[in-house]
């Protein structure tokens, strides 16, 4: 689904070759500052490489319209942005920006349940805790029904039990719906439990550490 060829970003990242398969759960692990977030930004076209090429389904990203690309390839930021207003306002934000019909009440309630957020749609989003905001941003992204989900430490603000529950839910969601997940995680335990492939990122270089594929 993605292929990186001789990609470099300043002195931050240098990747000779990397393939990310459609339908896979791919995890990037490794020390802080290694370049994990930079890789996700490349895949989302939030950043262009200084050298080399990134391909999406065989087409160079530089030839793909950025807005169209980001409708298919959804990106959950390490510290997700929360919009002013209510939880409902936040959930429908993407639909508003894309001029799409809003999901109905049941759909909104169902997604809150999936992310284990026990709040009302009319509650103010600003007063949520860090972990609740992270799950609200996740719910917003899930509603948008992308083809690829890029998630940067989606469980960093959650305690261990909630982390396991949420990652398990995300992985079931992407597998059931035939989507592709690329996730950065600090947790090697999470990575080895859920991924098809794990890459270690260190000083801008990547190394495959495990593959559960036959
Ligand atoms: N916009 C930028 N300009 C210059 N350096 C950057 C920029 N963004 C990230 N970096 C540097 O690139 C390296 C990799 O960053 P990042 O991809 O965020 O790492 P990780 O997500 O693995 O912690 C770090 O040394 C960071 O300081
Ligand atoms: Mg990062």
DSSP state of 18: E
Q: How far is it, in rounded angstroms, from Cα 104 to Cα 95?
A: 12
Distance, CA of 133 to CA of 199 (rounded, Å):
28
Average model confidence (pLDDT) for the chain?
94
Architecture of domain 2-211 in this structure: 3-Layer(aba) Sandwich (3.40)
- Residue-wise pLDDT tens digits, 102-131: 999 999 999 999 999 999 999 999 999 999
Residues 6 or more apart whose Cβ sits within 8 Å of residue 90: 82, 83, 125, 136, 137, 140
- Kindly report the backbone phi and psi dihedral angles of residue 25, in degrees, each rounded to the nearest multiple of 5, phi listed first: -105, 115
CA atoms of 26 and 76, how far apart (whole Å): 15
Tell whether the model's pLDDT for residue 214 goes beyond 60.
Answer: no
The percentage of residues in the chain with a pLDDT greater than 90, rounded to a whole number, is 86
Ion ligand 2, residue ranges at CB < 5 A = 36-37
Residue 79 Cα distances to 6, 75, 151, 198, angstroms: 29, 11, 11, 23
Strand runs labelled E in 65-213: 73-76, 148-152, 180-184, 197-202, 205-211
Mean pLDDT of 171-199: 94
- pLDDT for the residue 186: 86
Tens digits of residue pLDDT in 157-175: 888 899 999 999 999 999 9
pLDDT, tens digit, 9 for 90 and up, residues 4-31: 999 999 999 999 999 999 999 999 999 9
Q: Is 80 exceeded by the pLDDT of residue 191? A: yes
If pLDDT is split at 50, 70 and 90, which confidence band does 213 have?
A: low
Residues 6+ apart with CB under 8 A from 48: 42, 61, 62
Q: Where are the domains of the chain?
A: 2-211
Q: Which atom of ligand 1 is nearest to the CA of 41?
A: 17
pLDDT at 85 over 90: yes
| Ligand 1 pocket mutation, candidates 10, 12, 206, criterion most atoms within 8 A of CB | 12
The predicted structure's pLDDT at residue 208: 78
79 Cα to the center of ligand 2, angstroms:
10
Nearest residue CA, atom 13 of ligand 1?
A: 33
Mean pLDDT confidence for 43-49:
96
């Amino acid at each position: 689904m993605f292929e990186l060829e001789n990609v470099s970003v300043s002195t931050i990242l240098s990747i000779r070759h990397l393939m990310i398969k459609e339908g896979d759960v791919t995890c990037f692990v490794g020390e802080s500052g290694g370049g994990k977030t930079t890789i996700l930004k490349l895949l989302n076209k939030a950043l262009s490489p200084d050298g080399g090429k990134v391909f999406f389904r065989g087409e160079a990203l530089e030839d793909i319209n950025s807005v169209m690309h980001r409708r298919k390839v959804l990106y959950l930021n390490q510290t997700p942005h929360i919009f002013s207003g209510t939880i409902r306002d936040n959930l429908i934000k993407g639909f508003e920006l894309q001029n799409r019909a809003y999901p109905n009440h049941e759909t909104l309630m169902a997604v809150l349940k999936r992310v284990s957020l026990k709040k009302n749609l009319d509650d103010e989003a600003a007063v949520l805790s860090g972990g609740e905001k992270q799950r609200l941003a996740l719910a917003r992204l899930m509603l948008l029904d992308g083809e690829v989900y890029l998630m940067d430490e989606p469980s960093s603000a959650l305690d261990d039990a909630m982390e396991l529950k949420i990652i398990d839910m995300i992985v079931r969601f992407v597998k059931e719906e035939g989507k592709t997940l690329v996730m950065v995680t600090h947790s090697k335990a999470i990575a080895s439990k859920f991924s098809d492939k794990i890459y270690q990122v260190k000083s801008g270089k990547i190394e495959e550490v495990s593959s559960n594929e036959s």
